[in-house]
Structure 1
Amino acid sequence: MKTVRVVIVDDEPLARARLRRLLTRVGGDAIDIVAECVDIDELLATAARVELDLLFLDIEMPGGDGFSALARWRGPRPKIVFVTAYPQHGVRAFDVRAIDYLVKPVSAERLRDTLDRASAGASPAVEASETEIAKRLPLKIGQRTHLVQVDRIDLVLAQGNYLEVYADGATYTVRGTLSDFHARLDARAFVRLHRSAVVRIAAIREIEPAGSARFRVALRGGRHVYSGRQFRDRMEALLHGHAPGGLI
């Protein structure tokens, strides 16, 4: 079995030590940690003199983030795995062809999946087209980040400071505002029908009047939502077969 030459980049000594222990435990003799770096300048200097196959890269670091390190990279890149406490950069990570995105604290089981993906060659995320990558939305649930297919999201409901995202039979509860979440979606495919509801247009099964300029919107799977009076123009556009694109 070919030994994988690994570099760890993180400005926190404890984080580097924990990842080193996990890699040694999970990867065994197949892993050779050839260097540890504390910032991107040290990383780039190391990469110029050391051959490496796999890079575990933090995002937020003094002097520049992990993405700026990749922008300054010279020559062929190794396989990239981001390891960070910040889940919101997931889509951007796959845009730069990362093979995985780990949210701290990383478990041994999750790291094993990453090493399996690295040893298998290009990951599905790397092989996917940029259009496919853009259709995956990172949702932080506890310590995990779920990459949800955007075209499987049917409904997003605002509940106070949280959002309930209904996608492919599952419900994800995330913190945030509906306006910010909607801004991350394609306005041609999703429409806001109420101050607390965004719906994927293709998921709408039936629309019926509910009085007082409101409508009852039935979705596939049996869910329904009522539109708000101030969103009547969007409902009229849907009733006439027009996608109310750009209306947020």
Structure 2
Amino acid sequence: MTIRAVIVDDEPLARRRIGDLLAGAADVEVVAECANGASAIRAIDESPPDLLFLDIQMPELDGFDVLQAVGVGRVPAVVFVTAYDQFALRAFEAHALDYLLKPFTDERFEAALQRVRGRVRERNGGDLDARLRALLAEVRGGSAGGGYLQRLVVPAGHRSVFVRTDEIDWIEAERNYVRLHVRGRASLLRENLGRLEAALDPAKFCRIHRSTIVQIDRIQAVESLFNGEYLVVLHDGTKLTSSRSYRPNLHRVMGREP
């Protein structure tokens, strides 16, 4: 039996790496490579594959959007590919779904491929459908697992460093990334600030600006500025601006009425 596979990733090098690894698998045929969610949906509609390598973090339509658009029952097996997506990793593990965390080794890829080979041949679609539907319900409904994030996985060269959320001083948005400030050091993480805010405990973190989240315990003082803005001073001396739009959040922290 030949397994028909589709590779979906917005990074050319990532697509090439998966393709090169699959080239050594005699029982797998790559029938399409897609650089975005829209082209992936078209490819799956035209010829449903047996196996889908699906990147989660893509512009416009992400991997979860692709699954919702084509319907989870259209793909017998999925290997999710992600670069430090905190919420997705927790959801995949909770529902026993296969994933590859970038950067992955040849051995890790082979282990994932070996697992999905069995699932493809068994054609146990009903069980997979149920798990994928539960996954989408969790991810689209908020943070995975129903609880707040306790740690983040941060890339550091060829390593992955675990950072406890209670160690974070503040977080700033930087295009498609967020920068975590922890004890005077900064780390870049590919994540959306809005999704991160939704997964953090609101009793511990406060969004004070469209591009800034601060840990409440790190706030030393708040000073009034003009036009309803505030200057937020942290214990380490960092000074951040709280915009007027997020004033209710800061008032909640300060115990004031909105």
| TM-score in terms of structure 2 length | 0.49
Q: Deviations over 1:65-124 (max 9, x none)?
A: 22211221147232222223342342575399682232322211111221133134368x
Question: How many angstroms does 1:31 deviate by?
Answer: 1.6
Q: Is the 8 A contact 1:80 1:97 kept in 2?
A: no
Contact 1:163 1:175 in 2 (8 A): no
Aligned Cα RMSD in Å?
4.8
State whether residues 15 and 33 of structure 2, in contact with CA within 8 Å, keep that contact through their aligned partners in structure 1.
Answer: yes
Larger Rg computed on CA atoms: 1
Q: Equivalent residues in 2 for 1:185-196 (5 A)?
A: 195=217
Report matched runs for 1:79-228 at 5 Å: 79-91=77-89, 94=92, 99-121=97-119, 126=131, 133-134=145-146, 139-142=152-155, 157=167, 184=199, 195=217
Aligned CA distance change for structure 1 residues 12 and 94 (closer, same or farther; 3 Å):
same
| Aligned sequence identity (%) | 36
Aligned to 1:9: 8
Provide the rounded CA distance (Å) in 2 between the counterparts of 1:75 and 1:102. Answer: 19
Q: 1:184 to 1:20 in 2, by over 3 A?
A: same
Partner of 2:44: 47
State how far apart, in whole Å, the 2-side matches of 1:146 and 1:113 are.
23
2:109 partner letter: L
Mark the CA change 1:59 to 1:185 in structure 2 (over 3 Å): closer, same or farther.
closer
**Cα distance between partner residues in 2 of 1:126 and 1:47:** 20
Show CA shifts across 1:166-189 (max 9, x none). Answer: xxxxxxxx989xxx99974779xx
Greater helix proportion: 2
Return closer, same or farther for 1:38/1:159 CA change in 2, 3 Å cut-off: closer
SS at the partner of 1:72? helix
Equivalent position SS for 1:29: coil
Quote the offset at 1:51 in angstroms: 3.0
Partner of 1:37: 34
Deviation at 1:9? 0.9
Query: Cα gap change, 1:112/1:144 in structure 2, threshold over 3 Å: closer, same or farther?
Result: farther
1:106 aligned partner, one-letter code: F
Q: Helix, strand or coil for the counterpart of 2:80? A: strand
> Matched residues in 2 for 1:47 and 1:96: separation?
26
Question: TM-score scaled to structure 1, two decimals?
Answer: 0.50
Q: Counterpart in 1 of 2:56?
A: 59
